[in-house]
Amino acid sequence: MSGGTGSGLRFFHDPASVAVIGASSDPEKIGGRPIRYMRESGYTGAIYPINPTRPEIQGLPAYASLDDLPQVPEVAIIAVSGATAVAQIVRCAELGVKGCVIMASGFGETGDEQGLAWQREMLDAAARSGMRLIGPNSQGLANFATGAVLSFSTLFTEQPPADGAVAVVSQSGAMCSIPYGLLREAGIGVRYAHATGNDIDVTAAELAAEVVADPEVKLLLLYLEDIADLDSLGAVARTALSRGVPVVALKGGRSEAGQRAAASHTGALATEDAVVDAFLSKHGIWRARSTRDLVAAAAFYLRPGVPRGERLAIVSNSGAVCVLAADAAAEEGLPLAPLSAGTRAALTDALPSFASVENPVDVTAALLTDSSLFGKVLPVLGRDAAVDACLVGIPVAGRGYDVERFASDVAEFEVSTAVPVVMAVPQTSVARVFRERGIVVFADEAEAVHALAQYLRHHTLIAEARARLDSGCLDPRPRDRRSEAGPGLARTALNESQSLRLLETVGVPAVEHVLVSHPSEVTAALAALGVDRVVIKGCSSEVTHKSELGLVRVGVPADDAAAVVTEMIATMAREGVASEGVILARMVKGEHEGMLGARFDPVFGPVVVIGAGGIHVEAMPDVQLLLPPFSREDALGAIRRLRLAAVLGGVRGAPPVDLDAWADAAVALGAAMLDPALGLLEVDLNPIMLLPLNGPEHPALRAVDAVVVRAAPAPDLPYR
């Protein structure tokens, strides 16, 4: 298929006819540029300029109105404003136009009541006929394969288009134009450049799901200001993973969804921005942090093959560049490839006696007199199974250097070994020779390593996401009433005893405890627990943090337990807290303290937090987020990314803890959050005692404190 996706929005990419309402004879005006661009880009469909004051526009017959056209256009560009724009959209809907690209602004983005009313009117008209709307406040859409350039971007003049394998889809006009310009400046062709604007109907994610299905697209760049259309973004990811298309996204702005102040640590830790990170990561989408990050690695993604790992070999004719490149790799977390004895021996044979045969490999200034050195060294590195990628630095070349041979040797190496290569070459004239051979070149080693690190890491992320796709963990999730009601959903907090018992029913091990309502029940409770010292807590669904009210006592002897229970009941009465009893719990001492939490985000659905526990979780957070469903391996991967992970395997004589038990508890909590019958909105388990791997407790984990909030009303549950 050429230049289209073949699905529901194809008419925007390859329309049979386009009407330009508000057409201008001036090809530099908003109403004139789309006409100029379509004619210059080889668009073969019919173009109908509409302007009641002109008989001809840019050499084409002009029409006074939609009703005067010889046929109903498939797509209409709306380049008039205000009430006139609304009236034209209504008429398009009545005539059966399939889609409108609304360039006019002054609607919902202003917050003005009139603008919002106009926006509702155009949406209602479109809904009645099934017409689709792009915008308003849209810079427009461009498909350079078909020439359907329904856009007024000035960058298409500054950087002439060329069809290619990259698609850019953005909610912002500027953040469509800037990546487009940078890509074209680098000589990279762009097939789609879409800027959607307000997204009142067709969203950026919905368009992205269309373009990523195009078999000619090899890379998708996204700029999103919100992620309201989660279903389409999930579809983007699934199609991209199935086709092997990397997706890089830059997220700007912050919505208020899910930012309700929470009654637990979980709400403070699972911020919207962190949840966006977790969603994109789970789906194999690389999250760029700047415009530079969005486009920096584009040339890597377009090279054939897939990297096999992240270990880097560095080669240069400068010892300083070797050192600086190694420093850059360390900052990016890329390991240097450990060269085998055989590799070092072969390098010794190939290089001067004073050259370094360790990684980084310094071929020395002998390169000036022996132009074959790169051709000798690179194949040796390519045969070493430890080398996944290679950086070649040439800080100085030009006169006296056989740059053409260097470029030929590097290109031959990359093609024959499929090992990705990045060059660090500051001299423009020298860099040009390498770029002409299709080699990725940056001006310095820091930029080169940064982009290479993104490319290598992203492919690791993609491989993990593809495994989730195959296992069904990326399947679309059905909506439930928690999503539909959003932040306004009624909430009911469980008391701690109810919370701990709920945990047990869903598969999260909780501390053994007994709830008493009177001191006379203490003796039986102690006998049931079989201990001589206990933890005693006041139990009330009205109090989340009990320590502040003196409602937690640890290590209470059996002989004192009844008195402490009496004291707790009195304290709750004095503080005006409704008493729901007093908890007597077994004492549990962990090797380390972890935490598990979860909340139901009105946009993203269930979110699970796993991390270091204790009283400082908000002040010094060490957490990872997971979006259910996820596997034990996903949970273990999250645990390994914690700073706490460095001590969990046992240090200074301490035993290792049972990480599988922690991961299984996280999976169980995620499954519970997915169950609409449970109606869970928020769960906070802090601390969770992490116990020795080979100790007497199985599983070696206990939640000793719990806060659970669920939707109300909800069905009666077995723990009540």
Query: What structural domains does the chain harbor?
Result: 10-245 (3.40.50.720), 266-283+474-492+500-508+588-720 (3.30.470.20), 301-462 (3.40.50.261), 512-586 (3.30.1490.20)
What confidence category does residue 257 fall into, taking pLDDT thresholds of 50, 70 and 90?
A: very low
> How far apart (Å, rounded) are the C-alpha atoms in residues 168 and 537?
57
Among 191-200, 249-258, 464-473, 570-579, the minimum mean pLDDT is found in 249-258
Return the number of other C-beta atoms located less than 10 Å from residue 575's C-beta.
Answer: 15
pLDDT in tens, 218-233: 999 999 988 888 899 9
pLDDT in tens, 326-361: 999 999 999 999 999 999 999 999 998 888 889 999
> How far apart (Å, rounded) are the C-alpha atoms in residues 283 and 279?
6
Residue 556 contacts residue 517 (beta carbons within 8 Å): no
**Do β-strands 166-170 and 148-151 pair in parallel, antiparallel, or remain unpaired?**
unpaired
pLDDT above 70 as % of the chain: 94
User: Which pLDDT score is estimated for 465?
Assistant: 97
| Mean pLDDT for the stretch of residues 186-197 | 96
Among 17-21, 507-511, 703-707, 714-718, the minimum mean pLDDT is found in 714-718
Cα 607 to chain centroid, rounded: 14
- Find out whether the peptide bond into 49 is cis, omega within 30 degrees of 0: no
255 pLDDT above the threshold of 60? no
Q: Dihedrals φ, ψ of 589, to 5°?
A: -115, 120
Residue 504 contacts residue 510 (beta carbons within 8 Å): yes
**Do β-strands 491-493 and 513-516 pair in parallel, antiparallel, or remain unpaired?**
unpaired
User: Which pLDDT score is estimated for 652?
Assistant: 76
> How far apart (Å, rounded) are the C-alpha atoms in residues 665 and 684?
13
Return the number of other C-beta atoms located less than 10 Å from residue 242's C-beta.
Answer: 12
Q: Where are the strands (E) in 239-299, listed by range?
A: 247-251, 285-288
717 pLDDT above the threshold of 50? no
pLDDT in tens, 116-127: 899 999 999 999
| Mean pLDDT for the stretch of residues 637-653 | 89
> CA 679, 683, 689: angle at the middle one, nearest 5?
140
| Mean pLDDT for the stretch of residues 245-261 | 67
> How far apart (Å, rounded) are the C-alpha atoms in residues 534 and 523?
12
How crowded is the C-beta side of 98, counted as CA atoms within 13 Å?
15
| Three-class SS state of 586 | strand
Measuring CA to CA, which residue among 465, 460, 413, 461 is closest to residue 434?
413
Most confident of 27-31, 360-364, 399-403: 27-31
pLDDT in tens, 43-89: 999 999 999 999 999 999 999 999 999 999 999 999 999 999 999 99
The residue type of 303 is: R
pTM: 0.90
| Mean pLDDT for the stretch of residues 445-454 | 96
User: Which pLDDT score is estimated for 489?
Assistant: 73
Higher pLDDT, 8 or 685: 685
User: Which pLDDT score is estimated for 484?
Assistant: 66
- Find out whether the peptide bond into 34 is cis, omega within 30 degrees of 0: no
The residue type of 713 is: P
Partners of residue 422 on adjacent β-strands = 391, 440
> How far apart (Å, rounded) are the C-alpha atoms in residues 683 and 607?
10
Higher pLDDT, 629 or 477: 629
pLDDT in tens, 516-569: 999 999 999 999 999 999 999 999 998 877 887 889 999 999 999 999 999 999
Name, in order, each residue with C-beta under 8 angstroms of 361's C-beta and a sequence gap of 6 or more: 313, 314, 315, 316, 322, 347, 351, 355, 377, 381
Q: What is the mean pLDDT of the chain?
A: 91
- Supply 584's token pair: 């007597």
- Largest distance between two CA atoms of the chain: 101
> How far apart (Å, rounded) are the C-alpha atoms in residues 240 and 202?
19
| Mean pLDDT for the stretch of residues 6-24 | 91
176 pLDDT above the threshold of 80? yes
- Supply 18's token pair: 């386009």
Partners of residue 515 on adjacent β-strands = 583
Measuring CA to CA, which residue among 117, 39, 113, 119 is closest to residue 78?
119
> How far apart (Å, rounded) are the C-alpha atoms in residues 440 and 421?
7
**Do β-strands 440-442 and 389-393 pair in parallel, antiparallel, or remain unpaired?**
unpaired
> How far apart (Å, rounded) are the C-alpha atoms in residues 277 and 461?
12
365 pLDDT above the threshold of 90? no
> How far apart (Å, rounded) are the C-alpha atoms in residues 711 and 703?
22
Measuring CA to CA, which residue among 628, 691, 632 is closest to residue 657?
691
User: Which pLDDT score is estimated for 2?
Assistant: 39
> How far apart (Å, rounded) are the C-alpha atoms in residues 687 and 547?
14
User: Which pLDDT score is estimated for 700?
Assistant: 87
Residues in the chain: 720
| Mean pLDDT for the stretch of residues 18-41 | 96
User: Which pLDDT score is estimated for 203?
Assistant: 94
User: Which pLDDT score is estimated for 400?
Assistant: 80
> How far apart (Å, rounded) are the C-alpha atoms in residues 311 and 463?
17
**Residue environment code for 183-206, b if the CB has 16+ CB neighbours within 10 A, otherwise e:** bbeeebebbbbbbbbbbbbbbbbb
What confidence category does residue 269 fall into, taking pLDDT thresholds of 50, 70 and 90?
A: low
What confidence category does residue 486 fall into, taking pLDDT thresholds of 50, 70 and 90?
A: low
**Do β-strands 623-626 and 680-690 pair in parallel, antiparallel, or remain unpaired?**
unpaired
User: Which pLDDT score is estimated for 547?
Assistant: 80
User: Which pLDDT score is estimated for 488?
Assistant: 67
Residue 394 contacts residue 424 (beta carbons within 8 Å): yes
What confidence category does residue 254 fall into, taking pLDDT thresholds of 50, 70 and 90?
A: very low
